[in-house]
Chain A
Amino acid sequence: MKDEVTSREERIENLKGMGCSRKRVEDARFTQGKGNYVDDIKLDGMLFGDFVRSPYAHAKVVSINTEEAMKVPGVLAVLTAADLAPLGLHWMPTLAGDKQMVLADGKVLFQGQEVAFVVAEDRYAAADGIEAVEVEYEELEVLVDPFKSMGSDVVLREDTVDDAGKPVDGAHGPRKHHNHIFTWEAGDKDPTFEVIDAAEVVAEETMYYHRTHPCPLETCGCVASMDKVNGKLTLWGTFQAPHAIRTVVSLISGIEEHNIRVISPDIGGGFGNKVGAYPGYVCSVVASIVTGKPVKWIEDRMDNLMTTAFARDYWMKGRISATKEGKITGLHCHVTADHGGFDACADPTKFPAGFMNICTGSYDIPTAFLEVDGVYTNKAPGGVSYRCSFRVTEAVYFIERMIEVLAIELSMDAAELRRINFIKKEQFPYTAALGWEYDSGDYHTAWDKALKTVDYAGLRAEQAQRVEDFKAGKTRSLMGVGLSFFTEIVGAGPVKNCDILGLGMFDSCEIRIHPTGSAIARLGTISQGQGHATTFAQILASEIGLPADSITIEEGDTDTAPYGLGTYGSRSTPVAGAATAMAGRKIRAKAQMIAAYLLEVHDDDVEFDVDRFVVKGAPERFKTMKDIAFAAYNQAIPGIEPGLEAVSYYDPPNMTYPFGAYVCVMDIDVDTGTTDIRRFYALDDCGTRINPMVIEGQVHGGLTEALAVALGQEIAYDDMGNVKTGTLMDFFLPTAWEVPNYETDHTVTPSPHHPIGAKGVGESPHVGGVPCFSNAVQDAFRAFGLRHTNMPHDHWRIWKTANELGLHG
């Protein structure tokens, strides 16, 4: 089988492999309303479950009366902690080594906490049932402030103290107080303090990175179906980590893992919200076992914002020291982390504050020290990585604000201050003061390109003119130039230091080549909009020489996909993408032997060329991958097993470190506090680029989520622990009207340890975008003496800042 003669360029193009903007294969069904999301699943006799939730943030549950609820037409069961306790399921382990109540066990710790689970024939009957459940509460003192919580006599969690009322050790060591969860440290305390105390210049600042929420457009949900005849449990759900969910369900339910099948169907966005295990999953499984019928649970938007997976909520206190010329000498960061009522952070086990220790950023800082104290309060549990890799957003915000504050202290230009402190190209691989080994980078080139493209000097001149005009009463508008340069740490991660609940964070790919030269590949990850079906096929196309259009990518079904730790923390490309390339290379190695046999030459005498193996020095003698696939299944080849399949489990040797340079130009109306983003330039370096169109889409989306967080999005509580932003009326999601057009750009610095040099990009724009938007707002007021003000910079807060600076006359 010879194929028609085509040029090498055409053959490359036909593959639609790495580097091309292949259109997405997912889109046909999504644009025609044929996606299959969890709430679209409908099974025979399926029931609907929903929660009775606590109206109080801290209260004793005196009694629960379900009698009236059981009389409501259509209600079949009402589960309470008392029903779950005999099964040991009234509490469940969290990903952070803590445990969480599935249903209120004697008390509630946050508003919206799950108290009882009503199972009914449909949503309306369930809602009627919820109304009829009578719960008697006895209110307790509410602690919403972590600093007050750390000084309070009130014990939030009885399991944090012994019989004498003394704090007992938590999952990450000793507690300083009964409401304290852990202390986590990185770096050298004494040397850092010595350097800072002796420094020529020190800048200090305290900043609050407010609580927010990933809020994907689709909320969390699941359908549990226990088939009592064959003993198998099938669980469909919005899971960013289906295999981990299967293992957790097995461990806590006692159902053997082979009898559990977890399926993540199409997922309507995740952004970290769908990593954890929630009470709704446990209750649905139990309800299906109890009733013998499939049970669906779907959060409504209030449930989602109030209970599952908040993000951030870090109080960060920093000290940064430098020489008079601006060379940074030391950095100290202390974080008070508000984790709510249960520590349900989704971080690798050994990192209770995630990768916060990337907070030295892109700078060559010789000595640093970080300490994080986790604290319980009467707020919802969570602490997930909202479009970021384990607290990297907090870390980058911290350092990019500290740089700005230091620039003010030094009366220096913030762009120049960054430039003189960047890690230099020749310093990579670079070991940072807090321990990470950065794989590759070329920060100066990226920075220069960014500043040149936006005409940085011109912008500063324009800004100075604006300040003058403002002072002269000619305008009421100020101009901010926001800068950020970020280094991310993604692709968790090496099994030696990264696991979740003991599960090593490798990932996997299994490939089967079909006889006619098409293929299916299955991965341990799961797309939530990233377009894996499109981009992983491109990696494979380039690796194995079959067209991407002939490769099906499948994820999310634990019965068929190889084990993997899922999709979050930008780990799909760095880890599963690497597994895909490695599995592809195994295919290619076998294909080489088959080709050599067919061409009657030695294995070493053939070489791979785009879509075929050619005899070295005789390119007219070749076998295409299609020929080889056919032969693999149809010809007896001595010494070679039939078939063409491979599987790879990839344990990355290191994380990857994408980076980027962002500039935001913003006008601010001093009298209304409104902001107008005039220009946003984003240069990303994510190493090797698989699909530029998809990368650009990720950048647009991540920047928009960054804009939201910086300019208005928050989960706010009042003193009684009431959530003030529980609907989309109060919780800011930008519409097309508020969002600017973004200019995207790139440099390419491949990862030296990744098989294809790719680093991951999905979260970079969020991580780098938040400080950039925030810096733009703050920079506008720098000329009037502003040092720092906390996000979110909504119109009211900006107006207040202007007012406090005396700009309203």
Chain B
Amino acid sequence: MSKKQHYTITVNGKEEEFLAEPRELLIYTLRERLNITGPHIGCETSHCGACTVTIDGKSVKACTMFVAQADGKDVTTIEGIGGPDNLHPLQNAFKEHHGLQCGYCTPGMITRATKFLEENPNPTEEEIRFGMAGNICRCTGYQNIVKSIQAAAAEMSAVREAAE
């Protein structure tokens, strides 16, 4: 046990202040301290991506970061991506194209996909498969996840074009 420190993290637009041991992993800060249970835990060794969040514009596996490293940063989780009244196109596409089964990988998967589509708004299938390879799904075999991301990409680019 080490001495508790004072941290400030912005999560889904809300500033959170608390005392915690620096060794606490960010995923536990989110899940247990802040009750944000969308991001899940599948390995704690940064292999599965179930814990994926966005920090200062980058996809990060929250099981691989200490709370101390997240101090002062801006964190977005699945809860900040869209809700009942403002579904993100990816959330909709995953449902439409059966991109999930048990749902355990889904929050991390969609969170990663939001970032991926920002990096590459019109990806090929190969690029999707490569860009999403940090997120493991045990249920779907990925085929419909790829389809969901393709569908969301198409919808988002149609919206962009209409806006231009």
Contact = CB atoms under 8 A, between A and B. Distances in A.
A729 B47 contact: yes
Given A269-B104, A729-B45, A125 B141 contact: no
B143 interface: yes
Contacts of A271: 138
A157 B82 CA distance: 56
Nearest to A125: B1
A307 to B, nearest CB: 16
Interface in B27-41: 28, 31-32, 35-41
A389 B163 CA distance: 53
B102 A268 contact: yes
A733 B87 CA distance: 30
Contacts of B104: 35, 37, 216-218, 268-269, 529
B83 interface: yes
Contacts of A530: 101
A729 B45 CA distance: 8
B103 interface: yes
Grouping DSSP codes into helix (H, G, I), strand (E, B) and loop, the A interface class, with mixed when no group exceeds half, is loop
Contact of B35 (A27, A42, A693, A696): A42
A214 B146 CA distance: 23
Interface string B57-97: 00000000000000000000111001110010001101110
A737 B129 contact: yes
A28 B88 CA distance: 12
A727 interface: yes
B152 to A, nearest CB: 11
Interface string A26-50: 1111111111010110100000000
B121 to A, nearest CB: 19
Contact of B101 (A123, A124, A701): A701
Contacts of B19: none
A697 B98 contact: yes
B133 A737 contact: yes
A705 interface: yes
A486 B101 CA distance: 25
B140 to A, nearest CB: 5
Nearest to B82: A32
A395 to B, nearest CB: 23
B137 interface: yes
A122 interface: yes
Contacts of B143: 700, 739, 741-742
B29 to A, nearest CB: 12
Contacts of A268: 40, 102-104
A404 B110 CA distance: 43
Contact of A705 (B38, B48, B105, B138): B138
B95 A27 contact: yes
B145 interface: yes
A728 interface: yes
Contacts of B48: 217, 728, 733
B105 A217 contact: yes
Interface residues of B, number: 61
A218 B45 contact: no
A33 B39 contact: yes
A252 B164 CA distance: 68
A696 B92 CA distance: 19
Nearest to A708: B138
B103 A736 contact: no
Interface string B124-147: 000011101111111111111110
Interface residues of A, number: 61
Contacts of A19: none
Contact of B78 (A24, A33, A704, A729): A33
Contacts of B146: 736
B74 to A, nearest CB: 18
Contacts of B28: 123
Contact of A31 (B24, B35, B100, B133): B100
B26 interface: no
B100 A728 contact: no
A697 B140 contact: yes
Contacts of B130: 736-737
Nearest to B142: A736
Contact of B138 (A42, A217, A729): A217
Nearest to B83: A32
B24 A217 contact: no
A31 B94 contact: yes
A672 B161 CA distance: 45
Count chain B CB atoms within 10 A of each CB in A42, A733, A735 and give the residue with the most.
Answer: A735
B140 A735 contact: no
29 contacts: A24-B95, A29-B103, A30-B106, A31-B92, A32-B38, A32-B79, A32-B82, A32-B91, A33-B36, A33-B37, A33-B77, A40-B37, A124-B23, A128-B1, A217-B104, A217-B105, A269-B101, A269-B139, A300-B44, A301-B45, A694-B98, A700-B144, A701-B139, A703-B141, A728-B48, A733-B48, A736-B132, A737-B129, A742-B141
